[in-house]
Amino acid sequence: MDPLILVPYLPRAERSPGPEDLGWRAMCQVLQEHQMCPRRKSLLRARVMDFITSTAILPLLLGCVGLFSLFKLLQWLRMRAYVRNAVVVITGATSGLGRECARVFHAAGARLVLCGRNAEALEELSQELAASRAPEVQTHKPCTVTFDLADPGAIAGAASEILQCFGHVDVLINNAGISYRGAIVDTSPDVDKRVMETNYFGPVALTKALLPAMIRRRQGHVVAISSIQGKISLPFRSAYAASKHATQAFFDCLRAEVEQHDIEVTVISPGYIHTNLSLNAVTADGSKYGVMDETTAQGRSPVQVAQDILAALGKKKKDVVLADPMPSLAVYLRTLAPGLFFRLMASRARKERKSKHS
């Protein structure tokens, strides 16, 4: 209560008020009560803090933190146990994300089948992993299978060789891929076909070749490394985005069809990763792009992405987006506000075209 409110109602005095006056006493009492308010608030805060830190609340808070930590530990142990001693096939294992996946899964105790086009690079990676040791688990010497995923005639023989390595396949990681940079109007159809062969038809053919063995065992996990561009399309990436859209659609269908056989299917859609993907991308005329894009250079570490992939498998996730908030937001923006999304993409295309001509 504000003491000044009482001033009009105090008795008028012809002389200065003193302690013996009733009005003076009332005024002093109100002022004293007003000064006590902050003290009461401080006392109340102190009592609340005492209650929070009392023997009833503090153990409860500590218990919640402990349960959460235990839950995260159990998740981590389950993730590691999921691939321990499992036969994991990784395509495109000689560089970039595939190479880091090989290291991460090897350290988790998986029995690896490393696939790629370069036999020498595969053998070098196999020896590197065989020489490394993980303190927590027993590791295994990887097996290598050399073939070109873009060659349809090589798939059946490669699948047979893969199955001979350890007798079966538990996890197939379709990682191999090629990127593209160019304008649609300038791009040869042969370039579109080349990108589709590597990014779509090759993984599809290998999956179909290994799938019957998984169905017979009623056990298996198929992983497709797609891209955020499998959900949204960026200008001057048409062939790449088309191949990743097709990948997303195929493996979504596969997941529904093989659920009855207890086979898991996971689609991983990373954003930009700091690898040589843009350096090795093909252009409109089929030549190598040979440029490290700024977005790629600033992308996520392939080690971190490989660890996220291992975690996603351990949790048996169906569809995982591993991208920064902005690309993830764009996925929802395309669905909720398609008009705005496509205007933004057209604006981006104009900026890229301008930068190329400047």
- What domain range includes position 185? 85-323
Looking at residue 354, its pLDDT comes to 65
What's the CATH number where 189 sits?
Answer: 3.40.50.720
Lowest mean pLDDT across 31-45, 96-110, 179-193, 318-332: 31-45
C-alpha distance from residue 321 to each of 231, 237, 271 (Å): 10, 19, 8
| Angle of helix 189-196 versus helix 238-258 axis, rounded to 10 | 30
Residue 357 lies in a domain: no
Identify the burial level of 339 via C-beta atoms within 10 angstroms of its C-beta, where 0-12 means exposed, 13-18 middle and 19 or more buried. Answer: exposed
In the chain, what percentage of residues exceed pLDDT 70?
Answer: 72
Active site residues: 240
Q: How confident is the model at residue 6 (pLDDT cuts 50, 70, 90)?
A: very low
Selection from 243, 147, 158, 248 nearest residue 208 by Cα: 158
The answer to whether the CB of 230 falls within 8 A of the CB of 248 is yes
Average pLDDT over residues 37-57: 61
Asked if residue 276 is part of any domain, the answer here is yes
The pLDDT score that the predictor gives to residue 132 is 86
CB-based contact 206:145 (threshold 8 Å): no
Beta bridge partners of 320: 268
Pair of tokens at residue 328: 């993830």
Name the nearest CA neighbour of 206 among 147, 291, 133.
147
DSSP labels for 186-210? Answer: G--HHHHHHHHIIIIIHHHHHHHHH
Helix (H) or strand (E) holding 125: helix 119-131
Give CA separation, 244 vs 45, 48, 167, 199, 209, in Å: 58, 56, 31, 7, 20
Position 2 in a domain: no
In a domain, 44, yes or no: no
Strand order in the sheet with 143-146: 143-146, 111-116, 87-90, 171-174, 220-225, 263-270, 319-322
Bigger pLDDT: 67 vs 130: 130
- Look up residue 238 and give its two tokens: 């048409």
- Tell me the CA distances in angstroms from 225 to 79, 165, 245, one per residue in order: 19, 23, 12
Reply yes or no on whether the pLDDT at 4 is more than 50. no
- Does residue 116 fall inside a structural domain? yes
DSSP strands (E only) in 3-155: 87-90, 111-116, 143-146
User: For position 297, what pLDDT does the model report?
Assistant: 84
Q: What is the signed CA dihedral for 327, 331, 337, 339, rounded to 10 degrees?
A: 80
Query: pLDDT value at position 168?
Result: 96
Least confident residue range of 23-32, 87-96, 176-185? 23-32
Say which DSSP state 150 is in. Answer: T
Q: Which phi and psi angles does 273 have, rounded to 5°? A: -125, 140
**Domain-located, residue 1:** no
Instruction: Examine residue 61 and state whether it is found in any structural domain, yes or no.
Output: no
**What is the total count of domains within the chain?**
1
Question: Contact, 115 vs 131, CB < 8 A?
Answer: no
Q: Judge whether 138 lies within some domain.
A: yes
More confident residue, 15 or 81: 81
Closest CA to 255 of 221, 306, 298: 221
pLDDT per residue as tens digits for the range 275-320: 888 889 999 999 998 888 888 888 899 999 999 999 999 999 999 9
